[in-house]
Amino acid sequence: MYRSHSCGELRSSHITQEVTVSGWVQKSRDKGFMIWIDLRDRYGITQLIFDEERTSKAVFEKAKTLGREFVIQVKGTVIEREAKNAKIPTGDIEILVSELTLLNASLTPPFTIEDETDGGEDIRMKYRYLDIRRNPVKNSLIFRHKVSMEVRKYLSAQNFIEVETPYLIKSTPEGARDFVVPSRMNEGQFYALPQSPQTFKQLLMVGGMDKYFQIVKCFRDEDLRADRQPEFTQIDCEMAFVEQEDILNVFEGLTRHLLKEIKGIDVEKFPRMTYDHAMKTYGNDKPDIRFGMEFGELNEVAQHKEFGIFNSAELVVGIAVPGAATYTRKEIDKLVDWVKRPQVGALGMIYVKCNEDGTFKSSVDKFYDQEDLAKWAEKTGAKTGDLICVLSGNTNKVRAQLSALRMELATRLGLRNPAEFAPLWVMDFPLLELDEETGHYHAMHHPFTSPKPGQLELLDTNPGDVKANAYDLVLNGNEIGGGSIRIHDKEMQATMFKHLGFTEEEAKAQFGFLMDAFQYGAPPHGGLAFGLDRLVAILGGQETIRDFIAFPKNNSGRDVMIDAPAPIDAQQLKELSIKLDL
Amino acid sequence: MYRSHSCGELRSSHITQEVTVSGWVQKSRDKGFMIWIDLRDRYGITQLIFDEERTSKAVFEKAKTLGREFVIQVKGTVIEREAKNAKIPTGDIEILVSELTLLNASLTPPFTIEDETDGGEDIRMKYRYLDIRRNPVKNSLIFRHKVSMEVRKYLSAQNFIEVETPYLIKSTPEGARDFVVPSRMNEGQFYALPQSPQTFKQLLMVGGMDKYFQIVKCFRDEDLRADRQPEFTQIDCEMAFVEQEDILNVFEGLTRHLLKEIKGIDVEKFPRMTYDHAMKTYGNDKPDIRFGMEFGELNEVAQHKEFGIFNSAELVVGIAVPGAATYTRKEIDKLVDWVKRPQVGALGMIYVKCNEDGTFKSSVDKFYDQEDLAKWAEKTGAKTGDLICVLSGNTNKVRAQLSALRMELATRLGLRNPAEFAPLWVMDFPLLELDEETGHYHAMHHPFTSPKPGQLELLDTNPGDVKANAYDLVLNGNEIGGGSIRIHDKEMQATMFKHLGFTEEEAKAQFGFLMDAFQYGAPPHGGLAFGLDRLVAILGGQETIRDFIAFPKNNSGRDVMIDAPAPIDAQQLKELSIKLDL
């Protein structure tokens, strides 16, 4: 038996007991006549003491040779500690060691196994198995497990059935982003890995499964932005015989349950906002509503004056930055530089200081008098002491720019408190989205999303205006889930494919099985999928998902620890009936 | 709101209530003045009644048009049923319908949606979404969910953490059976889909995760035998600082928990048997011990007589088939034909009838007298009324043949009761297995399995004799789990790779990351993996795993519903830097 207790459980009540513990040497202090070792395992740290007088010479000498991260097993007696350590639960005791077994030695680790390590991202990823020993990573993985368990318990209790859908499926219209898998048994043919189990969960509804969920890996072969992964995990759900309201209630319930169970936080009924309102008010379909700084549109009060830039703009819009009227010229210049960075892309920024004395000082005083600026303050909700930042230009672009500025300023002002949770439903998304490059419309969510009742007719005339029965769950400025009521009618689905540019043959080749299924009594249904990686990171109060993934890939899609992907040998290629085409 | 109640929950206590239910038309009986419809959803069946007198004409006429599998919503009053049906929980009531909405029509389904369907395997798979509506499939999927939940609850309560390991990994030495995934971002390179998360779970142990589990999809591109799938699900587990006994206890506990919670069955402590004993006694490393018919080796008593076939055989071995002495000559001939089938491959079979009068009648009476045959009966444990079946030849082959015969006879005799559960640990597996084709040894479990203490030396001289710290959990003649204590020492792992025929370079290229990890304080560890598909099927009392998989593939690895795998287009191939080589 390697241990009678873990390194996290011994207390004063164990004093005088003979115990066996195993673990890693966290650190060792050798005072010549006495050696202390902090022994670590997943559950905690326990101090070992080796004492020239009380420990046998052989054991004492062996203890001297132990380095960091050596794996040892010790037997000994729990004794009271002279210098108690209130910071750790085992701080009242130590183990006076009588037997010591070296289970494995260790080279000096390439970075320190401490909460604050000296290792950079790259080296930590290469030695991820050592990184996982660190509390921040270890605890994130344990946290993820707890969240997953709570999700499963909650949904099971609500009669949802977790059904495993296949991983080896068929390439879809978003095929360009599919990972494919050559089939040895079916020469020249390929499986695809699912970008989501979308069609399968709909088929489960056709199959009468009624309430389905699955915590499931999904795959997307796209250029990886920071903090995306080629494989990611979804909490995927679908329900039959439901309206939008039913789905919102269930998953608001799930989210509230998680906040309560995991964070101990009670949240009010989630606010709801239309997509149009979110775009107008926050410039963004996933607004962070932990703070204000809502958009004030200024066209009415800022146009038709002498200022040409505003007059020619489609949209003039500003936000009031609380308490920022004291910004120096230099600080404001830096802000202007920030919005002009290519990542944001604004051409410039106009500002108005709302001075403590009730006057206004702006960068466009030449064109606007105090009365004009007072109207700007009113529209943006600015109070004395605030700084109004105003951008102008093409509506979509300027909204995105001002939204970026709003988030940046909120971060700088400490308004994005990771311990605060502000969920929000964003509803009534457009059904279609214009691809500005090709001029074609494509499905904003996916081709199975139903339009709002009575709007199908608009598809021919004003496709961009058609609203969908689609909704996103937003948490602290992140989309953590999204879904829709699906089309369940074969004719409507065919119409939708047509509008998305599929020929009848293409639709049949790709989705014939779904269209067929809709002929055999498909019930009304809808659902939602949460991004688990992101959800867990946000609940854990972190910005990045990587520490919540045991073995993440880097921005090139590589696992640097195992060095994958890698070439495969000629024989294997031959068996798969493919060759390289470099 | 589509429904106030499901089709499974209305009882006498609901009589007089106004309710709304939705579902599928299971069947319709039209008596002219009255129509009854059985409405079905996941939760049950509720009878609807439409009555010329009490139902509006419009609703009544519409009800006449409803066909099988139409999806409808009805409102009505719960009333007492005249002819109660005690077979279903809702059999005391029916709904007198006042409103009827057709939610979706249905073509006539290609097979009946009944427990006993008229659809064959192929058509059921093509329309799997209809097959899932049938109770046997639906209930199997729900059963699988329950088993998975219980596994997760049990292991979580024991401090196991579910960690998701990656699906896009690196090709392994069993590479020939890897599915591979070309990487778009890393031209000419490939990921592999995991055959198991073996190395990752070991790295989690090196990382101090201590107790890991995961219910996880695994992939193997091999020629599919009848009841295998290219993607399958494992309950994968690993523990650090454990000996074999610790692991057996935990997973015996898990299995006992499942039998108790899911089947309501209490099982004694699981018996244990060495691999050698299992092979000698049952000819098989996964014996079904629900019944006897243990092997009796007869060399001692059957050789050195005049019967040349036995004299030249490496092994002469028989079983006593209970009560089969009454088999006619024709029946026995059929049995002989059965063992001579190519799938079994015996050259012939000798029999001895143990007559009721205490005499013996054998097919080799020319060579053996009554006294000889009495010894055979003693060795095989045969009683009066039994039939002794004897095979001879090469030890391994004849054991496999007799094992097949034993299982076949047990099935015919009804000794394999699916409601009885006989778990068994088989232990002390050989470390290596001789590949008879190549003459090389390969790892019986995998290259990370540790040899029994002190046996490493045998590797050079008698590799086939080295026993491993490896164990299988067998249930009713099926291997449902297997595992081992792993090697955690870098040198020993290097030695093992060498003996398995890896060059140093190959070992480093494939498993450098694991060997590296072993240098940084790898703890002793071991684990086990259960095959979930099989486990669930056996717990569900079924022989085949297919009904416990929502969307299984056929024997050619095809999903006939979605028609995958399928060709992909030239552009996609080009982006992946591969071309076909047919």
Contact at 8 Å (CB) between A239 and A543? Answer: no
pLDDT at A173 over 70: no
Q: Locate the chain B residue with the closest alpha carbon to A575.
A: B176
Interacting residues of A132 by C-beta distance below 8 A, sequence separation 6+: A138, A141, A550, B204, B207, B208, B209
Cis peptide bond prior to B182, omega within 30° of 0: no
Residue A174 pLDDT grade (very low, low, confident, very high; cuts 50, 70, 90): low
Query: Is A575 in contact with B176 (Cβ distance < 8 A)?
Result: yes
Distance CA A312, CA A535 (A): 42
In the chain, the amino acid numbered A256 is: R
Annotated binding site of A for L-aspartate: 174, 220, 445, 486
φ, ψ at B549 (rounded to 5°): -120, 125
- Describe the crossing of helices A244-263 and A135-157 by its angle, rounded to 10 degrees: 140
- Describe the crossing of helices B329-340 and B395-412 by its angle, rounded to 10 degrees: 130
Render pLDDT for A99-132 as a digit per residue (tens, 0 to 9). 999 999 999 999 999 999 999 999 999 999 999 9
Give CA separation, B514 vs A104, A127, A566, B558, in Å. 15, 10, 16, 35
B379 sits in which H/E element: helix B370-380
Annotated binding site of A: 174, 220-222, 229, 445, 479, 486, 531-534
Q: How far is B556 from chain A (nearest CA, A)?
A: 7
DSSP B5: S
Q: Locate the chain A residue with the closest alpha carbon to B511.
A: A562
Distance CA A212, CA A239 (A): 6
- Among candidate residues A382, A374, A373, the one with its CA nearest the CA of residue A324: A382
Cα torsion B503, B506, B510, B513: sign: positive
Q: How far is A530 from chain B (nearest CA, A)?
A: 16
Q: Chain A contacts of B575, Cβ < 8 Å? A: 176
Q: B505, B515, B520: best mutation site toward chain A, by most A Cβ within 10 Å?
A: B520
- Average pLDDT over every residue of A291-295: 97
Nearest to B107 among A181, A191, A520 (CB): A520
- pLDDT at residue B441 in the model: 85
Q: B191, B535, B560: best mutation site toward chain A, by most A Cβ within 10 Å?
A: B191
Rounded percentage of chain B residues whose pLDDT exceeds 90 = 85
Render pLDDT for B477-495 as a digit per residue (tens, 0 to 9). 999 999 999 999 999 999 8
Any binding-site annotation on B124? no
Query: Is B170 in contact with A578 (Cβ distance < 8 A)?
Result: no
Render pLDDT for A460-515 as a digit per residue (tens, 0 to 9). 888 889 999 999 999 999 999 999 999 999 999 998 888 888 888 888 888 899 99
- pLDDT at residue A294 in the model: 98
Q: B37, B168, B171, B244: best mutation site toward chain A, by most A Cβ within 10 Å?
A: B168
Q: Chain B contacts of A522, Cβ < 8 Å? A: 71, 104
Q: Chain B contacts of A104, Cβ < 8 Å? A: 488-489, 518, 521-524
Distance CA B548, CA B227 (A): 12
Q: How far is A164 from chain B (nearest CA, A)?
A: 7
Residue A171 pLDDT grade (very low, low, confident, very high; cuts 50, 70, 90): confident
Q: Locate the chain A residue with the closest alpha carbon to B108.
A: A520
Q: A104, A232, A514: best mutation site toward chain B, by most B Cβ within 10 Å?
A: A104
Q: Which residue has the tokens 């994968």?
A: B236
- pLDDT at residue A455 in the model: 86
Size of interface A-B (CB pairs under 8 A): 372
The structure's pTM equals: 0.95
Residue B64 pLDDT grade (very low, low, confident, very high; cuts 50, 70, 90): very high
- Among candidate residues B429, B527, B526, B532, the one with its CA nearest the CA of residue B475: B532
Q: How far is B405 from chain A (nearest CA, A)?
A: 32
Contact at 8 Å (CB) between A96 and A53? Answer: no
- Strands B441-443 and A387-393, by their bridges, are unpaired
**Domains observed in chain A:** 12-104 (2.40.50.140), 138-272+423-548 (3.30.930.10), 291-412 (3.30.1360.30)
Residue B22 pLDDT grade (very low, low, confident, very high; cuts 50, 70, 90): very high
pLDDT mean across residues, chain A: 94
Query: Is A551 in contact with B200 (Cβ distance < 8 A)?
Result: yes
By mean pLDDT, which of A32-36, A164-168, A473-477, A568-572 is the weakest?
Answer: A568-572
Contact at 8 Å (CB) between B42 and B121? Answer: no
pLDDT mean across residues, chain B: 94
Q: Chain A contacts of B574, Cβ < 8 Å? A: 581
- Among candidate residues A413, A386, A412, the one with its CA nearest the CA of residue A318: A386
Query: Is A524 in contact with B103 (Cβ distance < 8 A)?
Result: yes
The three-class DSSP label of residue A182 is strand
| Both tokens assigned to B257 | 């928990």
Q: How far is B226 from chain A (nearest CA, A)?
A: 15
φ, ψ at A209 (rounded to 5°): -70, -20
Contact at 8 Å (CB) between A250 and A570? Answer: no
In B193-291, which ranges are E strands? Answer: 211-219, 231-240, 272-274
In the chain, the amino acid numbered A315 is: L
